[in-house]
Amino acid sequence: MAAPDDVEGVDFGTSGFTAVTRAPEPVAEAAPEAAPVEEAPAVAESAAESQAAAAVESRTEASASRDNVRTAPSTPAPSTPAPQPAPAPSTPAPEPAPAPEPAPAPEPAPAPGGGGVLGVAAAYTGYPYVRGGSSPATGFDCSGYTSYVFAQVGVSLPRTAAAQQASAAPVSSPQPGDLVFFGYPAYHVGIYAGGGMMYDSGNPGTGVVYRAVFSGVSGYGRVL
């Protein structure tokens, strides 16, 4: 239904209407004001102070470094000594070789078939020479010595050198245990020991000895 065109002059009155109280609209709470930020100036001031302190410290260190350079004594570079030659190894002086002991007199070889006649002959070396002697109790002359030695192995010889020469079989290649004669008829006799050596009783100065066959040999004879 359309509203009347002219409603301004119409008095509606108040009867039949209930008054309506309009609730007030809520008021929006204002946001709290932010506290003024004062940190930025403080940070800037702190940074400026740090930069100033760093600059002062840098200048102090540079100045100290220059002072050290000016005051530090110049230390010469250590000189490297030339390497010393290695000492030659000490070689101990060689010990002197001990003096060789004198070679013992060669032991006489036993005569062929002699039964140890050379051993008996050697046993009486050192006994005195006595003219006419024929035993250890009295001493020996040359033929007394040979006759005594051979008697110990069972061979009987004449008493004198000449008689022994006459009874022996002459040999050109003497062997140990043969008789060796000097002169003809023989005036001296010994027992050949081999290797150019002999046992004999030569004179009062030597007695019974083992020695080299000396010159004057007239021959050799075999009695064994």
pLDDT digits (tens, 9 = 90+) for 168-183: 999 999 999 999 999 9
pLDDT digits (tens, 9 = 90+) for 102-112: 555 444 444 44
Its sign, for the CA torsion 52, 54, 56, 58, is negative
H or E element that contains 56: helix 39-71
Q: In terms of DSSP bridges, do strands 139-140 and 134-135 run parallel, antiparallel, or are they unpaired?
A: antiparallel
Average pLDDT over residues 73-89: 63
Average pLDDT over residues 62-79: 56
Average pLDDT over residues 30-43: 48
Assigned token pair, 83: 């390497």
Which tops the pLDDT comparison, 179 or 89?
179
| Residues labelled catalytic | 142, 188, 200
Contact 174, 215 (CB under 8 A): no
Closest CA to 183 of 158, 156, 165, 167: 165
pLDDT at 54: 64
Domains, the chain:
117-222 (3.90.1720.10)
pLDDT for residue 155 is more than 90:
yes
pLDDT digits (tens, 9 = 90+) for 106-154: 444 444 434 599 999 999 999 999 999 999 999 999 999 999 999 999 9
Cα separation of 165 and 167, whole Å? 6
Position 198 confidence tier, pLDDT thresholds 50, 70, 90: very high
Average pLDDT over residues 192-197: 98
